[in-house]
Amino acid sequence: MPLRDTLARADADLAAGRVPVARQRLRGLVSSFPNDLMLRRRLAEVYRLYGEPAEAGRWMYLEQDRDPGETSAFEARYRTAPQRMRALAWRGPESLAPSAFAREQLAAVRAACSDAMGHPVDWDTMPSGRSTDTKGSALTDFLAGAGCLVAVLAFLAIWLNGLAALFD
C-alpha cells in the first residue's frame, strides 16, 4: 500500500479513536521508511497519546525541537549506545538525514556505539541485542547445551526401555 494511503488510514484510525491500529500502521511505515523524519514525528505524537514519553523521545530523538523530558526518558530506558542505536532503527549513512541536527545525533550515537563495542559499526550492521559479556554467555551456552544433552539422553533411555519391554 502506498505511503499516502497508509497515512490516510492512520489518520482515519486516529479520528475514530483506534489509536493502537494507527500506532501499528505508523510503526510499519517507519520500518519501511526509516529515514523519514516526518513519519517518526507522527509516531512520536501517537506515543504521546499513550502517555509514553520514552517512546515519544525515541522517535523524536533526531529532531531539534524535541522535548527534553522525552529525550531524558528515552536515554534512561535505552542506557547504552548499542541499545540506543538499535532503538533508533536508522538505515544507511548519516548523510541520508534531512537535517544537520539529525546527522550530528546519528553520528554521535554511532561513534559512542563503536567505542562501546570496540570496533567500528554502521547503521546497516547494528550490533545484536546479545550481551557482549563473553564469560556470562559462554556459561549460559554451556548450560543450555548440557541441558539439551541430558534431555536427549533421557529420551533415548525411555525409548530403549520401551523397546526392550516390547520384546520381553
Q: What is the pLDDT of residues 93-103, one digit of tens each?
A: 999 999 999 99
State CA 66 to chain mean position distance: 20
* CA-closest candidate to residue 63, choices 32, 23, 103, 3: 103
State CA 148 to chain mean position distance: 29
Entry pTM: 0.72
Give first-to-last CA distance, the chain, whole Å.
66
CB 43 within 8 A of CB 27: yes
Of the CA atoms within 13 Å of residue 67, those in its CB half-sphere come to 16
130-164 pLDDT per residue, tens? 544 445 578 888 889 999 999 999 999 999 998 88
Residue 61 gets which letter from DSSP? Answer: T
Cα 43 to Cα 109: distance, rounded to the nearest angstrom:
21
> What value does the mean pLDDT take over residues 40-56?
94
